Structure formats: C-alpha cells, structure tokens
Structure 1
Amino acid sequence: MKEEALKLRILICTLFIFSFLSVSCHANSKATSDEESYQKRMELYRRVEITTQIPWYYIAAVDHYERSIRTVRNDLPRAKGITGIYIPPEVWSGYLNPNKNDMSPLSIQLFNGFGVDGNGDGKANRADDADVIFSFADFILNYGVDEDHFRLALWDYYKRDKTVSIIMAKARLYKHFGKLDLNHKTFPLPRGYNFTYHNTWGDSRGWGGRRIHEGTDIFAGYGVPVRSTSYGIVEMKGWNKYGGWRVGIRDINNTYHYYAHLNGFSKGLKVGQIVEPGTLIGSVGSTGYGPPGTSGKFPPHLHYGMYKDNGRTEWSFDPYPYLKQWELLDRKRASAK
C-alpha cells in the first residue's frame, strides 16, 4: 500500500510539473493590476486542484492568509510575487542542510526540507510562485485532501487553533462566492438616514474600569438599520456587559468587524452565517453597561470597531479613516446610478 501511495504521489507531482510548464513565465511576471493578479492566482489554484485534487479554495485560503499577515508583521518580508505563502529558508532547505539557499530538489529532500520543484525547471526555488504553491500542496498531500485532513495539516503546520479557524473560514468564503476579489466595502448605515460621527478611537472610558475606546461611535436614531461593511462570516453574536447586543464579523483579510450597542439582531442572523457588504445584521440602539437587557444609559449609537489578527495576536486599530472612505464610496456609487 505504501508503494502504491508513493507511486500515486509521484504521478501527481509529475502531472503538476507539466501543467506548470506552460504558465511558469506568465505566473512570475509582474502584475499590472489587481484584476490580473487575481486571474493569475486563480490559474495557479485551479491547476493545483486539477493535478492534486486539493480544492482550489483551500490553497487560496492559505495563500491569502499568509499574504494578509505579511502586511502587518515586521518579522516577515513583504510578498514580491503573486503568491503570499512564506516559507523560511531553513524550513525550505531542511534544518540540517548547511546550504540554506539550496535549490536542489534532491539535496533538499535528503535533508527533509519543504521545497519541491513545481514548474519542471529542475530547481526548488522559494522565490518562484509555482514552486512555493506546489510545495505547500505537496505538504497537504501527506495528510489528505478532505476537510478533516486539511484541518490536521494546518494544525501541524501553524500550531494555532485560531489560524486554522481563520483559514477554514476564508476557504468557505472563496467556495461560496467563487471568486478571489472579496474586498468590496460599504458604510454600516444606509444612505438616507441621519447620522453623525467623529474620531473617538483611543478616547478614555470609565464604566467598568479605566480603558480606551476601541472604535468609532456613529450616532443615529433608534432602529436605524446596521449592515455588514464587508464580505465575511459571523463569528460572534450575543450580549456583552460593555457592548450590549453585539455582532462580530471576520472578513477575508483577517480583520474582525465589531458592531455594538445594537437594539436587536436581524431575523435569522446566526453564528457561522456568510454575509456580504450591505447584509442587514441589526439596528442602532443603546444597549450595554449592565446585565442582559440593559438599555438607555447613553444616546443611541453604533459602536464600530476593527481588529486585526497577525497570526500571533489581535489588536484594535482606528476605523475612522475607513468609515470616511466607505461613506464617500457609497455616495459616489449612488450618484453614478
């Protein structure tokens, strides 16, 4: 059985290499637009799926997760190619390999390294998009291509439950929408309603102990609809003594969007639900600062917060500039109709 499994992997590897021969140059050319970048990435993901049976959205989820954390981590280099997966030199070549820049598939294999030749040029180059993508696909093949084994592979690679859940959520989004461009945003309150807001992120708060304000307060009347600003998955729904009735949605870029002090939730909203920009999630209220049901201790408003996960921890950042940008974009879209 082991010999048959090995032969199968060799066959899959061979097919994968030949499938990349025709697009290796195209895949490594500099992207001139976001649309072209998405197209090139999708070509890589689809070829992985064809030759390894690993669903394209699994590879896409890992790739985008790594690209996202590389934009907010100083200890990781910025992605230079069209892919985002970063594999350290010592992992790529093998920890005991004296040549950390080794590109020989044979010696890398000898030292139990990660790198594999993915485009048939005889080199396992960690700067080559095809080699990197296939190397990760080859790692997954050691476990299996179904969801349970993919989860196990992610855990063994990242050793972090939250990372596994974030990547699986990304895979769900890609599978559901069938595309890579899920960056569209909208303002949380619809046009046509009166509201006002200022930059209140970082202000001091006293109720429940000294703390800073981790969001922007958007003041509006009771019952004004509150919408998801992004594509994402509802990660949290319920009561918090500070935020009252609140909803948490994580988007494709590892950003957690927090909606608090709601008057109530939209009918049928549930944890795990996939949403998109404009999906109704609740309405403006004044709940919070007490046990479940507490309301009216402050004027009605939406507390909107944004938190970024970098693969190690999560922190709050100022949502005000993004809200101003999304409000302006909504205005432009409306005037263009």
Structure 2
Amino acid sequence: MTRLGGTILALIVLAAIGFASMVSFGPNVPQPFPMKTAATRATPPSAELASEAALAIPVAGVTPDRLTDTWGVSRSGGARAHEAIDIMAPTGTPVTAAGPGRVEKLFNSDAGGTTLYVRSPDRAWSHYYAHLAGYAPGLHEGMAVERGTLLGFVGDTGNAGADNTHLHFAIARMRSGDDWHQGEPVNPYPLLAGSAVRR
C-alpha cells in the first residue's frame, strides 16, 4: 500500500469513528432527575406546563409583541446566565399577578432589590417578581392572589441599575419540599408571549 493509500484509509477510519460517536446505539438509560441545562429549562414538556398555560403578562399595558426573550443572556461578565425575562416599563407601572396563588415570601436582596414570590395553588410553580419600586398597599405573606391582583410597582431596586426600570420575572418548577427560593428555573417568555390571557 502506498503512503497516499494509507493516508486515505486512515482518514476513512477516522471519519467512520467520528460518525459512530454521533449515533446513539441501544436504549437510553433514564436519568433519575432531568439534567439542569439551559435547553431543558427553556423547553420543558408541555404537559408539565399545563397549569402555567394561562399566565398573564405581569406588567400593566405590556402586550406580547413588546416582550423580549432575555432568558440565558450573559450576566456578571459571563459568570452566570439570566434565568428570567426583563419586562421594560416606566417607574410605577403596576405589576400584577401572572397567575393565581399565594404570596409566599416578601424579600429584599442586593441583587433583586424589593422582591416577592407567589406559589401556585397546587404548589408546583413559583413566580418571582424583582426590582420593584414597592409593594401594593396591604400586600402580605400568606395572602391569596388571583391572576391580575395588584402586587407592586415597576422600579429599579437591587442591581437593576439607576433608571433601568423593569420587572425581572422568573418562574420555577417546584418539587415537593422545595423552599420559596428553590425550584427548577423555566423560561417564562414562551408562556407569556404566546399567552391568550389579556387584560
């Protein structure tokens, strides 16, 4: 065999090995829990989102065409990915409940500023609202809310940046025993942008 022939044969063998590595043989071994990747968080099974299908856009006056999918955008110089969407609006714009539930936590943090968490009635979902200018009068932990209940007002508290007024809105799929700040983040953009619920 000539040197050229040997080189061609080696390239064919390498190509065959590369092709074989891309093909899955045999049954897949199920994982005990879903892998925590951006892809699985962004596109969860639709059946699991049945209770979230009727979410309303939680900022008054914002229509689906004004939403931007900021899920996964780099933050802190690439140190983390954005696991929410930012809904831009002027200071003081009413923030309303995207869905029914119960106010589980009112919280103030360096990152989120004035925030709150609402847990769905079946406790399977958590909705997180951050950078608020303030809460609605009378809002308190344990309070039951309906879709459209006034929760607070758009602001720039926490690390939003001065005059960068928006609502940081996140949702998480909760497992039994998950506390208010836990859960598996899910991209809310497809649920809000495709929502049939209008106010």
Q: TM-score, normalised by structure 2?
A: 0.65
What do the CA deviations read for 1:16-65 (whole angstroms, capped 9, x no partner)? xxxxxxxxxxxxxxxxxxxxxxxxxxxxxxxxxxxxxxxxxxxxxxxxxx
Give the equivalent residue in structure 2 for 1:220.
89
State whether structure 2 residue 146 is matched by structure 1 residue 276.
yes
Equivalent residue runs for 1:56-205 within 5 Å: 184-191=54-61, 196-205=66-75
> Closer, same or farther in 2 for the Cα pair 1:238/1:75, shift >3 Å?
closer
Q: Which among 150, 156, 165 is matched to residue 286 of structure 1?
A: 156
The structure, 1 or 2, with the larger RCO (C-alpha pairs under 8 Å, 6+ apart) is: 2
What do the CA deviations read for 1:193-238 (whole angstroms, capped 9, x no partner)? 8x9331111111117x822111000001111100001110101112
Q: State the 1:250 CA deviation.
A: 0.6
State whether structure 2 residue 97 is matched by structure 1 residue 233.
no
> Closer, same or farther in 2 for the Cα pair 1:187/1:74, shift >3 Å?
farther
1-side partners of 2:89 and 2:82: how far apart? 19
Q: State the 1:184 CA deviation.
A: 4.8
Q: Which among 308, 318, 333 is matched to residue 187 of structure 2?
A: 318
State whether structure 2 residue 121 is matched by structure 1 residue 252.
yes
2-side partners of 1:246 and 1:198: how far apart? 21
Stretches of structure 2 lacking an aligned partner (at least 5 in a row): 1-29, 34-50
2-side partners of 1:182 and 1:200: how far apart? 19
Q: Which among 141, 165, 169 is matched to residue 304 of structure 1?
A: 169
What do the CA deviations read for 1:128-182 (whole angstroms, capped 9, x no partner)? xxxxxxxxxxxxxxxxxxxxxxxxxxxxxxxxxxxxxxxxxxxxxxxxxxxxx99
> Closer, same or farther in 2 for the Cα pair 1:310/1:271, shift >3 Å?
same
Q: Percent identity?
A: 34
> Closer, same or farther in 2 for the Cα pair 1:286/1:231, shift >3 Å?
same
1-side partners of 2:68 and 2:172: how far apart? 19
State whether structure 2 residue 197 is matched by structure 1 residue 329.
yes
Q: Contact conserved, 2:53 with 2:191, CA < 8 A, in 1?
A: no
Letter in 2 for 1:303: H
2-side partners of 1:187 and 1:329: how far apart? 8
Helix, strand or coil for the counterpart of 2:115? Answer: strand
Letter in 1 for 2:109: N
Q: Contact conserved, 1:182 with 1:252, CA < 8 A, in 2?
A: no
1-side partners of 2:80 and 2:128: how far apart? 17
Q: Contact conserved, 1:215 with 1:306, CA < 8 A, in 2?
A: yes
Helix, strand or coil for the counterpart of 1:322? Answer: helix
Q: TM-score, normalised by structure 1?
A: 0.40
Q: State the 1:186 CA deviation.
A: 2.0
1-side partners of 2:31 and 2:60: how far apart? 37
Q: How many residues align?
A: 148
Q: State the 1:187 CA deviation.
A: 1.7
> Closer, same or farther in 2 for the Cα pair 1:203/1:182, shift >3 Å?
closer
Structure (1/2) with the larger strand percentage? 2
Q: Contact conserved, 1:189 with 1:224, CA < 8 A, in 2?
A: yes
Stretches of structure 1 lacking an aligned partner (at least 5 in a row): 1-72, 77-180, 290-294
Helix, strand or coil for the counterpart of 2:191? Answer: helix
Q: Contact conserved, 1:184 with 1:277, CA < 8 A, in 2?
A: no
> Closer, same or farther in 2 for the Cα pair 1:320/1:184, shift >3 Å?
closer
> Closer, same or farther in 2 for the Cα pair 1:197/1:259, shift >3 Å?
same
Letter in 2 for 1:306: I
Q: State the 1:325 CA deviation.
A: 2.3
> Closer, same or farther in 2 for the Cα pair 1:205/1:296, shift >3 Å?
closer
